[in-house]
Amino acid sequence: MSEIFTGSFTQQEPIPEAGIEAALDVLRSGRLHRYNTLGDELGETALLEQEFAAYTGAKYCVAVASGGYAMGCALRALGVQAGAKVLTNAFTLAPVPGAIAAIGAVPVFVGVTENLVIDLDDLKAKADQADVLMLSHMRGHLCDMGALMQICDAHGIKVIEDCAHTMGASWNGTPSGRHGLFGCFSTQTYKHMNSGEGGFLITDDEEMAARAVILSGSYMMYERHAAAPSADVFERVKYHTPNVSGRMDNLRAAILRPQLANMDEQVAAWNARYHVVEEGLAGTPGLTLTNRPEAETYVGSSIQFLLLNWTEAKVRDVLARCAKRGVELKWFGEGQPRGFTSRYDSWRYVDSEPMEKTDLILDGLLDMRLPLTFSLADCALIARIIRAEVSAVFQQA
Ligand SMILES: *Cc1c(COP(=O)(O)O)cnc(C)c1O
């Protein structure tokens, strides 16, 4: 009899008790708005910003309403105008081109490699088209950040990093979000910290930070921030920066602070699960795992593999067989977007050229979340199921 997995791929861990207690305190005080503070007191949101800046090593941090908001805020702080082109990944999630389109700018898609990172040759080829790159570290894969920054610096391209899947990750010891001008993070339920919705913007640039604070909806209460530049910087920008409300509130910040304190343990727990699945899948005929370079410190909260050059019918067969045994795989080759898996040609509000190499990779790309509610034994079972079903379909004539 074949083994079946009965766990859920969408269930997260509970919020830590310390977060629940802190949230109850905020609720009992009624002071949910981040600027509802007394005297010099720092509220939960300001404290969280200070702690996240320290965690990433950034000078400045602004907590906001979502990861998508953080990306839009970075584009606005940079002064990207309607009609301007912005380079971004062909392989990413819908909120990334969405943030670009939301300000009336135009995404220009850059291809993906077999290791699921941005194709640096394609980036070079398109580098003259735009002054900004919205770089998505999609599914937690970091490209050679040294090489990428060299290309971007040579072409005067400002880099905004989408770190929705790389909170806790780094390249050559530098945290993701700290290579470009801005790092954008999400604290939505399916990311590395969970406040339902939420996000961060980090930067070392004082003027960009001041604009981001005003943009986020600080009114003139920016002095109540603890991870923002000094008042004189705000004097330079405050009359020229619109308020586009998207603040974080104290309730979410209260939930997040204990999670941030526990991040290293969470990262280790994800990577232990990732390695069990990776080992279980290694050497499966017809299946290609992504190669993770030495310089990359990643967070294995999801795993991807490729069924390269497989027919659509065979990929569908693998999906169906795995689903029957309780293993939910997401397929980026699907003709129509389902759930979270859309692709560059699903975003039809953008005129994009077909990208042959990228299509070949997306057509064979399968993805699976690894929530911390899975045990290591669960992960080993999941890998056995995938291995058996991929092998069975691969061997068919
Ligand atoms: C989730 C996600 C975002 C945006 O985050 P939200 O908080 O949901 O707006 C951006 N990029 C990627 C790759 C994501 O997965």
Q: Tell me the per-residue pLDDT of 39-61, one tens digit each, with 9 for 90 and over.
A: 889 999 999 999 999 999 999 99
**pLDDT-based confidence at residue 1 (cuts at 50, 70, 90):** low
184 CA: nearest ligand 1 atom:
10
Summarised one tens digit per residue, pLDDT across range 178-220 is 999 999 999 999 999 999 999 999 999 999 999 999 999 999 9
Sheet holding 330-331, edge to edge: 288-289, 302-306, 365-369, 330-331
Nearest CA to ligand 1 atom 2: 164
**pLDDT-based confidence at residue 336 (cuts at 50, 70, 90):** confident
Quote the ligand 1 centre to 186 CA distance (angstroms): 6
66 CA: nearest ligand 1 atom:
7
Mean pLDDT of 144-162: 98
**pLDDT-based confidence at residue 166 (cuts at 50, 70, 90):** very high
Residue indicated by tokens 């970091």: 142
Quote the ligand 1 centre to 196 CA distance (angstroms): 12
For residue 295, pLDDT over 90 is answered with yes
**Pairing mode, strands 132-136 and 85-89:** parallel
3-class DSSP state of 99: helix
138 CA: nearest ligand 1 atom:
13
Would the CB of 341 count as within 6 Å of ligand 1?
no
**93, 304, 367: which to mutate for ligand 1, most atoms within 8 A of CB?**
93
Mean pLDDT of 372-379: 97
For residue 337, pLDDT over 90 is answered with no
State both tokens at 163: 């770190």
Quote the ligand 1 centre to 166 CA distance (angstroms): 11
Quote the ligand 1 centre to 188 CA distance (angstroms): 8
Summarised one tens digit per residue, pLDDT across range 257-287 is 999 999 999 999 999 999 999 999 999 999 9
Q: Can you tell me the distance from the alpha carbon of 199 to that of 74, in angstroms, rounded to the nearest whole number?
A: 12
Count Cα atoms within 13 angstroms, Cβ side, for 226. Answer: 16
Quote the ligand 1 centre to 104 CA distance (angstroms): 19
Contact between 287 and 281 under an 8 Å Cβ cutoff? The reply is yes
State both tokens at 169: 């990750």
For residue 342, pLDDT over 90 is answered with no
Neighbours of 81 (CB within 10 A): 10
Mean pLDDT of 314-324: 97
Q: Specify burial of residue 391 (Cβ count, 10 A radius: 0-12, 13-18, 19+).
A: middle
For residue 397, pLDDT over 80 is answered with no
Quote the ligand 1 centre to 348 CA distance (angstroms): 19
State both tokens at 243: 């308020």
**Percent helix / strand / coil, the chain, rounded to 5:** 40, 15, 45
**64, 186, 201, 340: which to mutate for ligand 1, most atoms within 8 A of CB?**
186
Q: What pLDDT does residue 184 have?
A: 98
Nearest CA to ligand 1 atom 6: 67
Quote the ligand 1 centre to 286 CA distance (angstroms): 31
Summarised one tens digit per residue, pLDDT across range 77-134 is 999 999 999 999 999 999 999 999 999 999 999 999 999 999 999 999 999 999 999 9
Would the CB of 187 count as within 6 Å of ligand 1?
no
Please report which helix (H) or strand (E) contains residue 170, including its range: strand 170-171
Would the CB of 138 count as within 6 Å of ligand 1?
yes
Mean pLDDT of 314-341: 92
Would the CB of 161 count as within 6 Å of ligand 1?
no
Mean pLDDT of the chain: 96
Would the CB of 92 count as within 6 Å of ligand 1?
yes
